[in-house]
Structure 1
Amino acid sequence: MARISKDQVLNACIEGIRNSFKEYLQWSSDEWLWRAPEYLLTVNIAKRLNKIPNEAKFITLEDNVRKTLKDANAKIKGKIANKARPNGRFDIVFWWGKGTPRGVIEVKNAVFRKDHIQEDLDRIYSILKKRF
């Protein structure tokens, strides 16, 4: 079974966004995607990730941060920073078939400036900068 590449994940995300745009245009009588709810993108991205040809994967939506880190067997030195929102949720968790997370995806809609997503970037960075 071939490994899933970063490009496959990225392309699945982009295709999920494209599908969301097409659907929302049709459903809303030509409204643009930035007016759609974020969960439309989240669901369509997850659907496309699921179509990547490899059975050694699964996807969960709105999974708890603390639980995901525990499932990753993350041995975090010190307390999980409040900035990481340990009781919060990741929009999408992409899992290895053996049951450990391989990555998280945060979905944002209508981003016009970096400061619109800075809080999410800080949250993910605060988790990644810890030594696991």
Structure 2
Amino acid sequence: MNALLLWTAVGFTLSVLIETPVLVFCLCERHSLREKLFAGVWLTACSYPIVIWVIPHFINPVHHKILYLIAAETFAPLSECALFWWAFGTREEFRTRTFYRDMLAVILANLSSFVVGEFLNALKVL
């Protein structure tokens, strides 16, 4: 198997395994467990290919790691927040406590997978 495809599959799986429990515990109670589990996979499936395959074509992660991380780790939570709101948000809920809680949950999930990924990268596991 191509090393990039293997790394992509491992990274995607790891991201889902880290982000989904954060979403399950942190998203508002109005979301069913099924919605939370779906969001854990779907949001990562939407943003991960852009972060791994598209952004590196514009910013070389080997030569410009900090710039790449800024771009990727800004894109991922912003796009996932927008997608989550599009799929599960309501007009009445916009800018309420539950809106902010859901957006913070998505950001925290992304931050969690980023920190674990960087830790594993520093240990040369990834």
Q: Tell me, yes or no, whether TM beats 0.5.
A: no
Between Structure 1 and Structure 2, the one with more helix by share is 2
TM-score (structure 2 length as normaliser): 0.39
**Structure possessing the higher radius of gyration over alpha carbons:** 1
Higher-RCO chain (CA-CA 8 Å, sequence separation at least 6): 2
